[in-house]
Amino acid sequence: MKKLELRKNVLFDLDGTLIDTERFTILSKVEGGKEFGYDISYEDAKKTLGLARSNSDAFMRSKYGENVPTEYFRKKRRQMIFDELKEKGLILKKGTKEIIDYLNNENIKKAICTSTYSKIIDEYRNYSDLFDKFDVLITGDMVEKGKPNPDIFLKASKVLNVPVENCLVVEDANSGIEAAINGGFNTVMIPDLVNIDSQFLDKVEIFSSLLDVIDFIKSING
């Protein structure tokens, strides 16, 4: 990882990084597939984590045919998430509150860069004020090409008027890591449901939680 000289901005993935929703991406495909006679493997479903909608759909069609019900998977995922929201609220990942408080105290800007579409985020807002705590929110429908293309991170950097080299990306999925690296961003990974791809091992820092990322940023600050 190249030396991060200034930290003017931290760009966060959402699902699996700040909130505990990533498992529904997998379950909706595995369980939803069975309803339509598709035996979708857990491992294949994991490979769609973090991908832009179009890229996820393309992968599923390449593995299971053109008629695989990708739109139904999204509807099922959404229903699974909102069933939990109604029961428990939006469940944050370990360290989410703490890292937001730390960045606020240090006057470091922060953005959410998520493949989730804005319509879903608007519904999340009914259950949490998390999104009000960020300077910028870039959703999957705000860019032409999603992860692993770097556009979503580049857009956040541009909106915040912060050079790429002064940004730190925090991700949990390999597609997001690839997007950040493709954009030239300093990157850290907090693996959630997948381990880091070996090709990225020497290009990112790996931590167990957002609490460790706080310590990392402190070490950069000196």
Buried b / exposed e along 56-80 (16+ C-beta atoms within 10 A):
bbebbeeebeeebbbeebbebbbeb
At residue 8, does pLDDT exceed 80? no
- CB burial of residue 85 (10 Å; 0-12, 13-18, 19+): middle
At residue 6, does pLDDT exceed 50? no
Q: Work out the pLDDT band at 219, boundaries 50, 70, 90.
A: confident
Instruction: For residue 92, list its beta bridge partners.
Output: 19
pLDDT of residue 50: 83
Integer Cα distance of 210 and 221 in angstroms: 17
pLDDT of residue 221: 72
The reply to whether the predicted model has a pTM over 0.75 is: yes
Write down the mean pLDDT value for the chain. Answer: 93
Q: Work out the pLDDT band at 60, boundaries 50, 70, 90.
A: very high
Q: Work out the pLDDT band at 52, boundaries 50, 70, 90.
A: confident
